[in-house]
Amino acid sequence: MSFFTKVFGGKKDSSIPTTAEAIQKLRETEEMLIKKQDFLESKIEQEILTARKNGTKNKRAAIQALKRKKRYEKQLQQIDGTLSTIEMQREALESANTNTAVLTTMKNAADALKAAHQHMDVDQVHDMMDDIAEQQDVAKEISDAISNPVAFGQDIDEDELEKELEELEQEELDKELLGIQNTDELPTVPVTTFPNVPAKKTKPKQEEDDDLKELEQWAS
């Protein structure tokens, strides 16, 4: 018997509860015991009050109250131990339930993978991949053929074109050697700055008349 058969496929006794049912029962038992704890704690407090009330008045009643308190405390201690055991058992079941869920998921995945592979044959897969590679090669050849430019003008002599290019280059070189350059710029004219000449002072008219009279007297 395989591991998965032991976990999932084995025949189950209907009287045995599932892990989820067992966990639920343990939680219900925990709740019931906790309620009983609260009840016993309240009874213990009540017996303590009774013992204090009758301590000086009725010693017998006080002692009986303390005896009952001791029994309640013992029951409370037993419940504490039981709760600890139930808690550990519940945690173990919850862990087992989690593991079962994980294993169930893994088994379902394995079954799905197996079912998927049942429709596949390794040789067929290899043949399909070869066909794909072959079609890709064909597609590449078609693309290369389409992208290759149509060979127009193949009758042109390449040597003749090179000779024409050399003549053009030689023509440009000759122009450079002869200094022939196309330009619209004129030579720059130097700018000369002349010194400022002071303007000749003009005599007033009265002074000119006096000088003329003096010259005439001297001449006579």
pLDDT of res. 151:
54
Question: Could you say which of 1.10.287.1060, 1.10.10.10, 2.40.50.140, 1.20.140.10 is the CATH number of the domain covering 18-123?
Answer: 1.10.287.1060
Q: Residues of the chain whose pLDDT is less than 70? A: 1-14, 149-156, 180-209, 211-212, 214-220
What DSSP letter does each residue of 104-130 carry, written as one string? Answer: HHHHHHHHHHHHHHHT--HHHHHHHHH
Residue with tokens 């003329």: 212
If you count them, how many residues does the chain have? 220
pLDDT of res. 115:
83
Record the tokens describing residue 6, joined without a space.
Answer: 């032991």
Distance CA(89)–CA(16), nearest Å, equals: 16
Residue type, 146: I
Residue with tokens 């044959």: 121
Parse the chain into domains and list their residue ranges: 18-123
pLDDT of res. 50:
92
pLDDT of res. 8:
47
pLDDT of res. 116:
80
